[in-house]
Amino acid sequence: MNTYTKVTPEIVSELSTIVGNNNLISDFDRMENYGHDETSKEEYGHMPEVVVMPQSCEQVAQVMRLATRYHIPVTPRGAGSGLSGGAIPLFGGIVLSVEKMNKVLEIDEKNLTVTAEAGIITNELNNQVIEHKLFFAGYPMSLETCFLGGNIAENAGGGRAVKYGVTGRYVLGLEIVTPDGRIVNLGGKVTKDVSGYDLKQLYIGSEGTLGIITKATIKLLGLPTAKADLLVPFKTAEEAIAVVSVIMTKGIVPTSIEFMDRTSLQMSCNYLNETLPLEKVGAMLLIELDGSEEKQVEADMISVGDLCEANGAMEVYIAEDKNTQERIWSVRRNIAEALKVYSPVQSLEDIVVPIGSIPLVLPKLTMLSEKYGVTIPCYGHAGDGNLHATIVKNPESTMEHWHEIEPMILRELYAFIVTELGGKISGEHGIGIKRREFLREVISDTEYDLFCALKKAFDPQMIMNPGKIIRIQ
Amino acid sequence: MNTYTKVTPEIVSELSTIVGNNNLISDFDRMENYGHDETSKEEYGHMPEVVVMPQSCEQVAQVMRLATRYHIPVTPRGAGSGLSGGAIPLFGGIVLSVEKMNKVLEIDEKNLTVTAEAGIITNELNNQVIEHKLFFAGYPMSLETCFLGGNIAENAGGGRAVKYGVTGRYVLGLEIVTPDGRIVNLGGKVTKDVSGYDLKQLYIGSEGTLGIITKATIKLLGLPTAKADLLVPFKTAEEAIAVVSVIMTKGIVPTSIEFMDRTSLQMSCNYLNETLPLEKVGAMLLIELDGSEEKQVEADMISVGDLCEANGAMEVYIAEDKNTQERIWSVRRNIAEALKVYSPVQSLEDIVVPIGSIPLVLPKLTMLSEKYGVTIPCYGHAGDGNLHATIVKNPESTMEHWHEIEPMILRELYAFIVTELGGKISGEHGIGIKRREFLREVISDTEYDLFCALKKAFDPQMIMNPGKIIRIQ
């Protein structure tokens, strides 16, 4: 077991010299927000010893050099909207928040790129590039709060990945600070590159365990000029989910196919004070299509609508105006939050399976729900095979019972997803602390050994966000 | 310097027990083909001590365990169609050819995937999936000979990357044999996955230096039903290349935009005994569009044609029938071979720049050509900013002079591409031996250190294709 140096007042003072007094927090109360993310604070939270908010890459590098010198763990933090504990300072030490590095540095219309600092809010970036009729295809559900750097560190997926792929596809260049405080620029503005190992891709999704992302150059696309959203209710969740693979193998590539079961819909509507026609509805699909040609989008919309109707849809609602589209998407985006308000004791899952196996997931969830006496509302990016099954504690059972059954349910679910269906335990939320022990159980010894070798090669002192993805030995 | 164990007759006999007598070559004459790839044999070639052709992943693993035990270098080899020396056994030892592992194992229409062994020829894979109206979007120019495993090891680009991206985007799963002879399966059939470090992506493009790819699962797309090719001559190469960024920022995404200057066109036509209307032509663009809707493709074709005409095109030829399309593409695909026949002493380059900087490349080539008295025909995937400038020795100068000026030209070119334009020295051919020393000069010390750390972590004995990408110390 690694033992780290405690952050003394002298070290705090050194840090303050680097980042400035206004960009450092060391009193307990004000640090509280930096001790958890969107996972359960009680279960995963841990307080930092000090929080720094550098204003430049050079300051980040100086902090890392200090941390290396003293052997202090450093946890990089974006908006804290993560769902696997990636930003939690498991061993105390320094939380390095990029919140003050939040500028768009360049929008390059000649190369269709935007370069921005890691701390910019995703939607802020979107708003700035949309003015140039350009568009960043990443679309995490937390886009109103999450930071670009966090999206990249987690390789966020989201609502448009069916057509556009996940965040990583759009990252052309990264500025990284290594654990020992060196600054390295990877990639650039080129769209193809095989000039050596693809380190850029390695940092994407590495959850801040190999270095800190301080800046990124993102590939933009021309803003689609036509868009349509279909909201399609089905009597049962099974019917709704079965349509997903039908659509996905028909040659049309929707922008999104989101699945929401009855409980998820109801909770989100309650939370938002929104009304949707839910009578007799077991689940809904939210299907988005976009493109540069209105006629094409319309034709695709009709084809998809017909497919749904031929496969049990009760109705096909079309949302063509922006306002209605935003209302529906808001229902979708707020499900996680709504379910949390409904029952804070829960486990928000992120399983992903091959699209052909999606229909096999729901019966398993029903079985687990009955076997363990819990509710498991389910929603998510069905077009990617990525479902956010959320295991919710029965309000009538004790916390002790919950702590006993939660890992049992997860083990049974993960074994099924991985061994039976060839799926993975996380499609977009990451491993962090929350899934670390479970990951170890479902991957091979060789893969795990390679993970450890990689971590050791890039962070030999084990000070860079330690305890995430893998245990530190 | 690493010293490796020589392959003794006893070791050959052990190897023969693993792979069988028929799958091993140890006599000099028959090994000759395995001592070079498509780079200059004289300049880069090196003979192996023994060649093995395992028939299964388990045999590959056994060979690697033997190599680890004796400390013998192993060079994995696909079709030998590489262009940077990746398959050349720089330190002798064992060449491990995957040529006998060449089967399609599964076409999964429910998940739109194909799983195949590393030694299958790309076009063979294409032909098999096309029967299911499916399509592998990778399209390296050497598709009639190159192997799937080699495509992945080099992260091959090719003619369709503008729209579809490079090979790596389609690799969902990999079976890898590690340098110490363990078998590991990465990824699978899921389209999103953040369950730990993305090792799969790391192996893609790592040129066989971290392990051997033995099997891959590839994502397929629905076969586009409509296609059009435009052949667009311009009076000057500068005019042709300037149109590329104009098209790329107009919202239409062509499948391909290939650039061919006059010399490249002429040489390939001569080589193929083909005729094209080349009078007064300085260069041509070959632009392909595809999609699922004929009308859409036609509309895009007209828009692109109009853009070309408004920007100096002499003519816009439309190739709508398959036969003519194949004829034109054959001219494009055979340029490299034709230029080699014309002058075997040359350096085929693979520079890549941000698309907005493409017009700045040609004047630099002209300048270098005049300064050093060489011809530099140029062609390539202009829509990606990836140009195969080919520096050809002046037939009247001596070999001594060539050896003196070649590295000078490359240094000057690379410095310009990397420092001035933010480009990279290889977009799709890789570093291998050919660009290793130059790579070291254009990347930062930190990036290079991370390359070395990575290599050491995955191949501590330095037996896995040593001497490629980085030097071994």
Query: Do B125 and B37 have their domain in common?
Result: no
pLDDT band at B245 (very low <50, low <70, confident <90, very high): confident
**A52 neighbors A177 (Cβ within 8 angstroms):** no
pLDDT for position B82: 96
**A94 neighbors A19 (Cβ within 8 angstroms):** no
**A349 neighbors A391 (Cβ within 8 angstroms):** yes
Calculate ∠ Cα B356-B360-B362, nearest 5°: 125
CA A162 to chain centroid? 15
Q: Which residues of B281-319 are buried (b: 16+ CB within 10 A; e: fewer)?
A: bbbbbbbbbbbbbeebbbbbbeebbebbeebebbebbeb
Contact A251 B354 (CB under 8 A): no
Query: Do B352 and B376 have their domain in common?
Result: yes
Closest residue on chain A to B182 (Cα): A446
Closest residue on chain B to A351 (Cα): B193
pLDDT for position A429: 97
B125-163: per-residue pLDDT in tens?
Answer: 999 999 999 999 988 989 999 999 999 999 999 889 999
ipTM field: 0.96
What distance in Å separates residue B428's CA from the closest CA in chain A?
6
CA B235 to chain centroid? 30
Q: Considering chain B, what is the average pLDDT of its residues?
A: 95
Tell me the HSE value of B407 on the side-chain side, using a 13 A CA sphere. Answer: 11
A440 belongs to a structural domain: no
Domain that holds residue B234: 226-336
Number of Cβ within 10 Å of residue B473's Cβ equals 8
Beta bridge partners of A209: none
Closest residue on chain B to A385 (Cα): B190
A190 belongs to a structural domain: yes
pLDDT at A1 over 60: no
Give the CATH number for residue B230: 3.30.70.2190
**A12 neighbors A57 (Cβ within 8 angstroms):** no
Q: Is B6 exposed, middle or buried (0-12, 13-18, 19+ CB in 10 A)?
A: exposed
Q: Which candidate in B113, B183, B190 is best for mutational testing of the A interface (most A CBs within 10 A)?
A: B190
The shortest CB-CB distance from B458 to any of A182, A444, A450 is to: A450
pLDDT for position B473: 64
pLDDT band at A293 (very low <50, low <70, confident <90, very high): confident
Contact B184 A426 (CB under 8 A): no
The secondary structure element, H or E, covering residue A322 is: helix A322-333
The shortest CB-CB distance from A157 to any of B165, B189, B192 is to: B192
B416 belongs to a structural domain: yes
The shortest CB-CB distance from A186 to any of B189, B354, B447 is to: B447
B1-40: per-residue pLDDT in tens?
Answer: 569 999 999 999 999 999 999 999 999 999 999 999 999 9
- Residues of chain A with C-beta less than 8 angstroms from the C-beta of B205: 194, 197-198
Closest residue on chain B to A427 (Cα): B193
Q: Which candidate in A65, A107, A192 is best for mutational testing of the B interface (most B CBs within 10 A)?
A: A192
A137 belongs to a structural domain: yes
pLDDT for position B418: 98
Q: Which of A204, A222, A240 is the last residue of a domain?
A: A222
| Beta-carbon contacts of residue B208 (< 8 Å; ≥ 6 apart) | B75, B76, B86, B87, B153, B464, B465, B468
Q: How far apart are CA A416 and CA A424, in angstroms?
A: 10
The shortest CB-CB distance from B197 to any of A195, A206, A456 is to: A206
Beta bridge partners of A95: A51, A75
Query: Do B51 and B129 have their domain in common?
Result: no
| Rg of chain A, C-alpha, whole Å | 22
Query: Do B257 and B163 have their domain in common?
Result: no
**A380 neighbors A355 (Cβ within 8 angstroms):** no
A13 belongs to a structural domain: yes
What distance in Å separates residue B102's CA from the closest CA in chain A?
24
B427-450: per-residue pLDDT in tens?
Answer: 999 999 999 999 999 999 999 999
Query: Do B157 and B240 have their domain in common?
Result: no
Query: Do B252 and B189 have their domain in common?
Result: no
Q: Which residues of B76-90 are buried (b: 16+ CB within 10 A; e: fewer)?
A: bbbbbbbbbbbbbbb
pLDDT at B328 over 80: yes
Number of Cβ within 10 Å of residue A331's Cβ equals 24
B90-107: per-residue pLDDT in tens?
Answer: 999 999 999 999 999 999
Q: How far apart are CA A68 and CA B326, in angstroms?
A: 59
Structure-block tokens of residue B448:
């290079």
A70-97: per-residue pLDDT in tens?
Answer: 999 999 999 999 999 999 999 999 999 9
Report the share of chain B in percent with pLDDT over 70: 99
Contact A251 B161 (CB under 8 A): no
Query: Do A19 and A87 have their domain in common?
Result: yes
Q: Which of B100, B115, B140 is the last residue of a domain?
A: B100
What distance in Å separates residue B81's CA from the closest CA in chain A?
16
pLDDT for position B2: 62
Q: Which of B278, B301, B336 is the last residue of a domain?
A: B336
Antiparallel, parallel or unpaired: β B317-319 and B351-352? unpaired
Contact B194 A155 (CB under 8 A): yes
The shortest CB-CB distance from B385 to any of A191, A199, A470 is to: A191
pLDDT band at B43 (very low <50, low <70, confident <90, very high): very high
Residues in chain A: 473
Query: Do A87 and A15 have their domain in common?
Result: yes
Residue B168 backbone dihedrals phi, psi, to 5 degrees: -55, -30
Query: Do A347 and A318 have their domain in common?
Result: no
The shortest CB-CB distance from B386 to any of A192, A299, A353 is to: A192
Q: How far apart are CA A286 and CA A305, in angstroms?
A: 11
The shortest CB-CB distance from A194 to any of B155, B186, B248 is to: B155
Dmax (CA) of chain B: 70
Residue B313 per-residue DSSP state: B
A218 belongs to a structural domain: yes
- Residues of chain A with C-beta less than 8 angstroms from the C-beta of B352: 190-193
Q: Which candidate in A197, A297, A298 is best for mutational testing of the B interface (most B CBs within 10 A)?
A: A197
Report the share of chain B in percent with pLDDT over 90: 91
Closest residue on chain B to A355 (Cα): B111
Q: How far apart are CA A107 and CA A105, in angstroms?
A: 7
pLDDT band at A343 (very low <50, low <70, confident <90, very high): confident
The amino acid present at A453, given as its one-letter code, is A
Q: Three-state SS for B341?
A: helix
Closest residue on chain B to A414 (Cα): B195
Query: Do A199 and A239 have their domain in common?
Result: no
pLDDT band at B296 (very low <50, low <70, confident <90, very high): confident
Which residue, B249, B307, B251, B387, is CA-closest to A107?
B249
Closest residue on chain A to B296 (Cα): A296
B193-203: per-residue pLDDT in tens?
Answer: 999 999 999 99
B426 belongs to a structural domain: no
Cα–Cα distances in angstroms (integers) from residue B138 to residues A169, B166, B196, in the given order: 16, 6, 26
What distance in Å separates residue B415's CA from the closest CA in chain A?
14
Start-to-end CA distance of chain B, whole Å, equals 5
| Beta-carbon contacts of residue B216 (< 8 Å; ≥ 6 apart) | B115, B116, B118, B148, B149, B152, B171, B173, B174, B175
**Domains in chain A: how many in total?**
4
Query: Do B51 and B80 have their domain in common?
Result: yes
Which residue, A355, A353, A363, A320, is CA-closest to A247?
A355
Q: How far apart are CA A378 and CA A433, in angstroms?
A: 22
A415-450: per-residue pLDDT in tens?
Answer: 999 999 999 999 999 999 999 999 999 999 999 999
pLDDT band at A452 (very low <50, low <70, confident <90, very high): very high
Contact A198 B197 (CB under 8 A): no
B398 belongs to a structural domain: yes
Query: Do A245 and A276 have their domain in common?
Result: yes
The shortest CB-CB distance from B293 to any of A110, A296, A435 is to: A296
Q: How far apart are CA A42 and CA A39, in angstroms?
A: 9
SS (H, E, C) B77-113: ECCCCCCCCCCCCCCCCEEEECCCCCCEEEEECCCCE
- Residues of chain B with C-beta less than 8 angstroms from the C-beta of A429: 194
- Residues of chain A with C-beta less than 8 angstroms from the C-beta of B193: 352, 424, 426-427
Q: Average pLDDT of B119-125?
A: 97
Tell me the HSE value of B158 on the side-chain side, using a 13 A CA sphere. Answer: 26
Which residue, B390, B419, B429, B428, is CA-closest to B406?
B390
Give the CATH number for residue A159: 3.30.465.10
- Residues of chain A with C-beta less than 8 angstroms from the C-beta of B381: 192
Give the CATH number for residue B54: 3.30.43.10
